[in-house]
Amino acid sequence: MGLKSIFVRVAGCDFACSWCDSKFAWNVKNAVKYEE
């Protein structure tokens, strides 16, 4: 029944898919910046 899938969520996505469950990623201003 279906295929196994892996979804990688990235900040700054500009596809704006209607089924997206991570709409916060559409706006790069919301991107979290990490410093090491």
Q: Which residues contact 32 (CB under 8 A, 6 or more apart)?
A: 11
For 2: left if phi > 0, alpha if psi spans -120 to 50, otherwise beta; the answer is: left
Check residue 31 and give its pLDDT: 62
* HEC readout, the chain: CCCCCCCCCCCCCCCCCCCCCCHHHHCHHHCCCCCC
Check residue 3 and give its pLDDT: 93
pTM: 0.34
**Biggest distance spanned by C-alpha atoms of the chain:** 42
pLDDT in tens, 1-36: 889 998 876 666 777 788 877 777 677 666 666 676
Check residue 16 and give its pLDDT: 77
Cα separation, 24 vs 35, whole angstroms = 21
